[in-house]
Structure 1
Amino acid sequence: MAETPHLLCKVRGLGLFLKQHVWSGSEYNRWETTYLSKVTRVREIDGLFTGIVEELGTVVSFNDSRLSIESHRVIEDLSLGDSISVNGACLTAISITPKTFTVELSPETLRRTNFSSVKKGTILNLERALAANARLGGHIVQGHIDACGQISSERPEGDSIIRNIRAPKRLMRYVIEKGFVAIDGISLTVVKKFSSSFTISVIPYTFENTNMKWRQPKDLVNLEVDILGKYVESLFGGR
């Protein structure tokens, strides 16, 4: 099975840093056997993304749990059963036409995400699953939304926009300054962290090529914190 060198480089780098500063040799070996070995076979991980939005899709219809989206780029090589990131949520294509695809949302997905506010014409971020030989341009994104956050404020800073995101306190332990967070499926860097919120900087390219262009204060956004922090906590009992 082919490896993904860029992904392995990032994951191994984190492991080696922790080995040098935090872990013993046996703890690093446990990291290798429980997580790193899985990353070397990317195709075995169901729905792995990078947080680099490929296309903006438009909602055609949303009936009950079925969401149909108009697409031009990501639909080119999409097959039934494929995973696709829709506003950061890993969903399965259950129907495909030449210009649209349909996904089905589970009750858990509806509870955790901002899809309850979606309607015909809503613009959504789309990304296909990571290919085994692709570059990891953003960070490791599973497409498993942790919770909704809320844009509480924004202000200009040069050509960029600084947005403050209010998040559930249970997630803030995984948020670190200069660390990664996925917002509506976009890989972004945390600028500053506070007790119950954090800030991000939206550069002009991201603003123009994602649904950040349509986001306003008080809007709900899908949040996925960095999975590596969760793995470390799980491996060592949250110490």
Structure 2
Amino acid sequence: MFTGIIEEIGIVKEVRKGALSSVLTIQASVILNDLHLGDSIAVNGVCLTAASRSSNTFQADVMHETLNRSSLGSLRAGALVNLERAMPANGRFGGHMVSGHIDGVGMIKAIQKDDNAVWYTIGAEDKILRYIVEKGSVAVDGISLTVAKVSASNFSFSAIPHTVMSTILSRKTTGDTVNLENDVIGKYIEKLLCPATSQARFGGMTKEFLSQFGY
């Protein structure tokens, strides 16, 4: 589990491509301080496992499913990536619950300065927008952000200077692709309440069920 608070920007040193997968070698410093093999690291919001490491790099395997769901397949040597270690049990919860399991990708439609802040408008598919609500949380390339506006085809957020400069948001331009992860709570609630998908398999949560147990 992650929080969406980026710890540092890493540099992709090598992308070794297989038939349907790849291996990333990423240069870092902060996150390597206590990194062990098998630890989880969010790379642009995607939960990957450290398979090997050196004094200043780590390697991670990227499977076929991950390449299909995220923008990691477009990474090249020299690319900058957001990095975050998994949250320790005694750590501060500064962002929101981020699983590192990407729901899909979006495209930056507009970037606009607003005094010291920057507005980003992200186009996304209906399957992602259905879970995005105004003043709710969303992870964009692993960054925990608060949604400011939602429309039928996109959503917008306003980023403070610290967030922009501490992440790869400062390098993004219109037309760039970003990884998106919806707030997991909304997806679980829908699964429990939607009769079409959950009632047949798990009994669902109906008005009758709630009434039976005094709600």
TM-score scaled by length of structure 1: 0.79
Report what 1:151 is aligned to. 108
Report what 2:212 is aligned to. none
Give the letter for the 1:62 counterpart: V
Task: Tell whether 2:14 aligns with 1:61.
Answer: yes
The gaps in structure 2 that reach 5 residues or longer are 196-205, 207-215
Q: Deviations over 1:122-144 (max 9, x none)?
A: 11000000101111100000000
Secondary structure of the residue aligned to 1:234 is helix
| Correspondent of 2:68 among 107, 111, 129 | 111
Equivalence map 1:225-236=2 (5 Å) = 225-236=182-193
Secondary structure of the residue aligned to 1:74 is helix
Report what 1:192 is aligned to. 149
Equivalence map 1:125-140=2 (5 Å) = 125-140=82-97
Structure with higher helix content: 1
Task: Tell whether 2:163 aligns with 1:206.
Answer: yes
| Correspondent of 1:169 among 110, 118, 126 | 126
Quote the offset at 1:116 in angstroms. Answer: 2.1
| Correspondent of 1:221 among 178, 188, 191 | 178
Separation of aligned partners in 2, 1:129 and 1:166: 28
Separation of aligned partners in 2, 1:100 and 1:190: 34
- What RMSD, in angstroms, separates the aligned Cα atoms of the two structures? 1.0
Quote the offset at 1:231 in angstroms. Answer: 1.0
Quote the offset at 1:228 in angstroms. Answer: 0.6
Q: Deviations over 1:83-136 (max 9, x none)?
A: 110000000000110110000000010011111221111110000001011111
Task: Tell whether 2:56 aligns with 1:102.
Answer: no
Give the letter for the 2:50 counterpart: A
Task: Tell whether 2:95 aligns with 1:142.
Answer: no
Report what 1:93 is aligned to. 50
| Correspondent of 1:82 among 20, 39, 62 | 39
Separation of aligned partners in 1, 2:88 and 2:193: 31
Q: Deviations over 1:4-62 (max 9, x none)?
A: xxxxxxxxxxxxxxxxxxxxxxxxxxxxxxxxxxxxxxxxxxxx000000011000100
Separation of aligned partners in 2, 1:51 and 1:223: 12
Separation of aligned partners in 2, 1:139 and 1:148: 19
Structure with higher strand content: 2
The runs of 4+ residues in structure 1 deviating greater than 2 Å are none
| Correspondent of 2:2 among 38, 41, 49 | 49
Quote the offset at 1:171 in angstroms. Answer: 1.2
Quote the offset at 1:77 in angstroms. Answer: 0.6
Report what 2:213 is aligned to. none
Separation of aligned partners in 2, 1:116 and 1:234: 30
